[in-house]
Structure 1
Amino acid sequence: MIKGFAQKGDMTAAFSVLEDLKKEPGCWPDEVVYNTLLDGCLSAGLPAEGERIFAEMHKYSVSPSNYTLTVIVKLLGQARQLDRAFEVVETTAQKYRFRCNSHVYSALVQACLVSHEPLRAAG
């Protein structure tokens, strides 16, 4: 249901389903659910909500993936929050001890271009 609402752009309904899901005993959102919500936030242009969802993942110890990072970087790039995008990549990769893949770095390069800072992409 969350994916359907997110694909239609109805993020209010998608967030409502998330809250209902969290109330169910023994049922808790996983990385796939959170990534679906992040994708929806990206499509709807909702960077603040995307950051909130990303923070909730950390709060509930749901480990992000390279896919998660790629989407959050795209969200932050779309909002021209380049410093925050770099910060998120660095801190998340360190905290969860994984190596960022080419998709994450491509999203960072794109964020640099959107923010009119192409030289930052080279460094």
Structure 2
Amino acid sequence: MSSDFNNHPLAHLMQSDFGLHDPTRVRAFCYATTASDGSVHRARIEREAPVFRDATLWSVEQLVAQIVADGIHILVNLDRYRRVARNEVFAARPAPTQMSFMGFAGTLGAEWCDYLLANETAVPPSMLQP
């Protein structure tokens, strides 16, 4: 789920990722929370993602219900704390596992975020606690 599936650095870095999943093992769903800007980046994500949902005008309740109906196992927050972020969707816990990736290089400090996917540059091992 992201507000950055447009001409944005996140989309520049991830635009080809959604079509690279092995469909026999995983199915990627993209939930866009901002309208299309007509960029080639948005078009590629829309074209290559197995499922792309434009949730720009959806209420929190509609988005939560769709995530549950889609049977999402791992919901990934590609945003961070910004005005356009839809973190209230994550607070409703529509998926059993929820994580943060890419949009913020650090913990969100939220109980609804179970994991942070990061490398040793973003989160040095010396900063980790058991």
Work out whether the TM-score is over 0.5.
no
Structure with the larger strand share: 2
TM-score interval w.r.t. the shorter chain? 0.3 to 0.5
TM-score by length of 2: 0.36
- Calculate the TM-score normalised by the size of structure 1: 0.38
